[in-house]
Structure formats: structure tokens, C-alpha cells
Structure 1
């Protein structure tokens, strides 16, 4: 039986930093919910956006909303009161949904790279392969697989014994701080985590690299510069999102240890979990004629 029944999430010591971050995160939270809901509404109601690419983008918006609502409200509370207690069950529930959304997004970005590969490298077979039913199957499989991985991860982590200290020097419950404060041996859990990283990280990254390697070769073979530019533009947004999704966690986990002792070790995870869902709809909407046209049509219909 575990002795610890709750954890204490630590905020910032500086009042100015707390007030500034509270206001910033509140604005970002509202912008994230609005931007992603707008993408979902546009994709659902506009026939122009009834394509596999925009269907996957709407699913990305759903997981961004899930991640944001899982982290930000409690973070705002912690900033407001300079720390807060969270029950054992609530802590692991928060971690479960964060892991679920992150795992699903990783798989979804892989599916989206496959979609771009089919559209550019096999355009004649694209419509026959990427049917609505096939796209739905890919998304459902991604959700189910992400859910399964999250259940395995959280089940293994919750079996650890926590007998004190119960302070987590972060705004939310995460894998590393929970491992650090565990009293029991964590070797098996850490081994599980490395094994789970193969289907969640290694395989998806490999597929994305291979897909875009083939896409780059195909684009370079195009005779027309206009065709090359158009093909690249259909992939640029996804490439930016993929880069942000994978580069920011590297900054979180591989940042120099001397700098990690400062409050920046709290800010880096916030960039990954809070600001990524905020910029995703902006990246996909920026200079996107289909989304702009759909938004104009909906506004015009309401008028």
C-alpha cells in the first residue's frame, strides 16, 4: 500500500512570473480552444474540406483540445495560488490523458505523412486508397493503439510505491518526476517505458522519415517549378508541426542539467504541452486558401 495519498505541484516563487504566466496561459488557452474548435467546425461543415488531409487535421485539433483542457486549467489554479495539492487518482488521471493525447498525436502525424506520401508519390491511386472508410479506420486504430499504450504505461507506473516526499516540482503530473519520488525499484518500469517508445516513437519517426524521403525524391523529379512549389506547399505545414512536436520534447529532456535547476525546467514542458496545441491550427490555417474560403463562406451564410 502506498503512504502518499496526494502530491503537491509546485508553482513559481516569483510573483511577477506567476502573474505574467497566468495571464499568458489564460490567453493561450482561450486561443487554443477557439482555434481548434474553428478548425473542427470548418472541416465538418465545408464540403471543400471533406478530404483526408483536412479530416486528419480535425482529429489533430481534437487531441490538441484534449491535451490543453487536461493541463491548463489546473496549471492556472497552481499559478494563482502558488502551488496546489492533487490527489493520487487525479494525478494519474491527468498523466493518462496527457500520455493518450501525446501518443495519439504521434501516430496521427505518422498517418498524415503517409497520406502526403500517397497524394504526391501515388496520385493516380490516391482516391481509391485513401477513401473515407480507410481514413476512419486509420484514425480509430490510432486512438485504440494510443489508448492501449497509455493503459499499459499508467498501470505499470501506478504500481510503484510512493511514501514521500510527495512534492512534484512541475505544473502537472509527468513520468520523470513520478519516477524520481517513487520509493520502490523503478528498473522494470523504466524498461517498460523504453520498450513502449519503440511503437510510439521509433517506428513512427522512421515511417515519417521514409515517407518524406520518397516525397522529396518525387518532387525533385517534377519538371515544372510550379508543380514542385505546389507539392511542397501541401507538405510544409505538416513538416513544421512534426518538427515542433519532436524537437520541443528533446529540449525538455536533453536540456543541460545546470540550466534545468532554474525555473526554465518548468517553462520548457509548458511550451510542449500548452503552446504546441495553440500554434497547430495557426500553422495549418496560415496561407491556406481552402480554410480561408470555407471561413468566408460560413460567415457569408450567417450574414
Structure 2
């Protein structure tokens, strides 16, 4: 494809929501509040886990990584969304748009793999508890995490490579709140059916492969729990998996709706709403789900705040 065609577009205009100025102000305040809660909640979980030695276990190590992904993902998309609501027109350079898409895909792919890794952690803890410390040693967790981040950032190179070769021929008005791949491809001045098929295939691999591992591990986990002799043991085992299952359902539900649903069944406005749930709500809800359902994390938070208040009172 000729680079000359592509050079005609140096920036994109994000159309955002077709709403009145009053509604945009309300949305700006709501999205800003969501973003701030996301930053505070995820930063708090990372701080609590790192500061409390009792939480230095594989499960909380993976939760810290999840919180860091949520911080990065919300910071990739939310400022652009807020700018579109605050300004009459929101523009983004071609390179900035490609970077935003790459970061979104990379962080999403990393989270897919990380959630599968977290399910395997629960599988070992419940189905093979005696060997848990040996199997999930600190060095093993570090290597698995490095491999997860590496794979997550390598897989979307295919998507970016495709976008870099697509000619836009001067069309630069994206009917979305952020640089979303399907909305950007809609501006291409060539037939993109083959491109969309390739991207769909990679999306299936990225989403379905980790999800299959999660389903496989939880079938074994449920089977093991049902064989436990006491109801107390079964309740404790289920409670350790509840938060992870909730996060998996929320993440994969919105991700599948975004990347695997037929475009003909989703209107442009509904696509924007799903994108916002995936990009803004999920990173905010993840730490709240883990915090509200986890006694250890809540206990550590109380102690941390208690120490801070005591220190502040002694200092003053």
C-alpha cells in the first residue's frame, strides 16, 4: 500500500458522544470521579499488599499486577475520553492513535493471560495445597509474570502492523470516544473484510485460549471442593475463588461483547457504552471486588490507616 495515501491523515478527530453540553458536563464529572476512584483504589491495593508481609503470597502478587494493569489501562483511555467531553472537538495524532490502540490491546492481552494465571494459582492452592509453596515459589511467580507481560505486549504487534499499512485517504473523523480499532478501520478507503477477519482471529486466540484454561481449572476446582468433607472447608474454598470469578465474568463479558460480537448487531452508540464499561468501569470495579470480598486486605487497610493516623497525631 502506498505510504503517500496514509500520509494524508496526520491526526484524527474523535466525535465522542452526540449529547447536549449539559449532559456532557454531567458525563465529564462522572467519568472523572470514576477515573479518580480507579487511581486511588488500585494504588491503595498495591501499597497495602507491598507494605504487609502477610500478603506476600502468589495470589496477592498477581492481584498487584492486575491493579497495575488497571491503572495503566484507565490512564490510556480515560484522559482522551475526558478531553472529548471537555472540549468541543477532541483530536489525536495518527501516531498517538496507534499508540493508544497498541497499549489498549497489550494491556488487555496481558490481563487475559494474567486472569488465567490467577485461576491456575487457585487450582494449585485448592487441588494440590501441600505442594503449593513448592510449585508457586517466588522465582516461579516472577518468571510467569515476566512471560505474561512479554506475551501480552508481543501479540498486539500484528494489529498495529496492519493499522500502519491501511490507507485512510483523508478521512479522519472517528465516531467513538477513543481510538477503537473497528471505528478506525471504518475510515479506511479499502475493503477491510480480510483485515477484520485476521484481527478477529487473533482476538479469538487472545480471549478464548486463556478463557479455556480458566474454565478447565475451575471445573477441577469445583470438583475438588464438592468432595470436601466439611461445609466450612467448602465455603472457605469457594470464597477464595469468588472474587476472581466475578472479575473474570466482568472482564470477559465486556471484552467478548467488544471484540467478538457481530458489528451488525451493535449500534455505534451502544458500542461506545460497551467500550466505556470495558475501559472505565472494569478497572474501577476490580479493586473494589477484591477489597470488599477479602477480609485479609480489609484488615491490612485498617492497620495501615490506623498507623498513619497515629503517626500523624504524634507528629502534630
TM surpasses 0.5 = yes
Confirm or deny: 8 A CA contact 2:45 2:287 kept in the other structure. yes
Secondary structure, in 3 states, of the residue corresponding to 2:91?
A: strand
> How has the CA–CA distance of structure 1 residues 103 and 256 changed in structure 2, closer, same or farther, with 3 Å as cutoff?
closer
Runs (4+) off by over 6 Å? none
Moved more, 194-203 or 46-55: 194-203
Question: What is residue 32 of structure 2 aligned with on the other side?
Answer: 26
Ranges in structure 2 where 5+ consecutive residues have no aligned partner: 311-316
Q: Is the 8 A contact 2:243 2:293 kept in 1?
A: no
Q: Secondary structure at the match of 1:163?
A: coil
Q: Which moved more, 1:244-253 or 1:134-143?
A: 244-253
Aligned partner (choices 107, 126, 132) of residue 132 of structure 2: 126
* SS of residue matched to 2:13: strand
Q: 1:227 to 1:258 in 2, by over 3 A?
A: closer
CA contact (8 A) 2:17 2:176 kept: no
CA–CA separation in structure 1 for the residues paired with 2:238 and 2:254: 24
Q: How far does the alpha carbon of each residue in 1:3-46 deviate from its partner, in whole angstroms, 9 at most, with x for none?
A: 21111101223223211110000000000000000011011111
Shift of 1:152: 2.5
Residues 125-175 of structure 1: per-residue CA shift (max 9 Å, x gap): 111000111111111001000111122221122111111321111111111
Change over 3 Å in CA distance of 1:59–1:34 after alignment to 2:
same
Q: Which runs of 5+ in 1 are unaligned?
A: none
Q: Which residue of 1 aligns with 2:14?
A: 9
Do the aligned residues in 2 keep the contact of 1:11 with 1:82 (CA within 8 Å)?
no
CA contact (8 A) 2:126 2:224 kept: yes
Contact in 2 for aligned 1:10/1:82 (Cα 8 Å): no
In 2, Cα distance between equivalents of 1:277 and 1:203: 22
Say if 2:162 and 2:195, in contact at 8 Å, map to a contact too: yes
Q: Deviations over 1:189-208 (max 9, x none)?
A: 33432342354112111100
The alpha-carbon distance between structure 1 residues 250 and 203, as it changes in their structure 2 partners (threshold 3 A), is closer
Partners of 1:18 and 1:82 within 8 A in 2: no
Residue from 98, 112, 124 that aligns with 2:104: 98
Partner residue, 1:160: 166
Question: Which position in structure 2 is the counterpart of 1:246?
Answer: 252
Equivalent residue in structure 2 for 1:80, among 55, 75, 86: 86
Query: 2:107 & 2:263 partners in 1: Cα distance?
Result: 27
Cross-structure match for 1:281:
287
Question: SS where residue 156 of structure 2 aligns?
Answer: helix
Q: Does the 8 A contact of 1:157 with 1:189 survive in 2?
A: no
Map of 2:313 onto structure 1? none
Contact 2:110–2:152 (8 Å) recurs in 1: yes
CA distance in 2, matches of 1:51, 1:136: 12
* Equivalence for 1:220: 226
| Post-superposition offset of 1:231 | 0.1
Structure 2 distance, partners of 1:128, 1:211, is 19
What is the rounded CA distance, in whole Å, between the counterparts of 2:302 and 2:228 in structure 1?
33
**Are the counterparts in 2 of residues 32 and 65 from structure 1 also a CA contact under 8 Å?**
yes
Shifted more, 249-258 versus 140-149: the winner is 249-258
Cα RMSD between the aligned structures? 1.7
Residue range with higher mean Cα deviation, 180-189 or 76-85: 180-189
Contact 2:123 2:220 in 1 (8 A): yes
Q: Give, in whole Å, the separation in 1 of the partners of 2:203 and 2:171.
A: 28
Distance (Å, rounded) in 2 between the aligned partners of 1:273 and 1:259: 17
Q: Map 1:182-261; keep pairs closer than 5 Å.
A: 182-252=188-258, 254=261, 257=264, 260-261=267-268
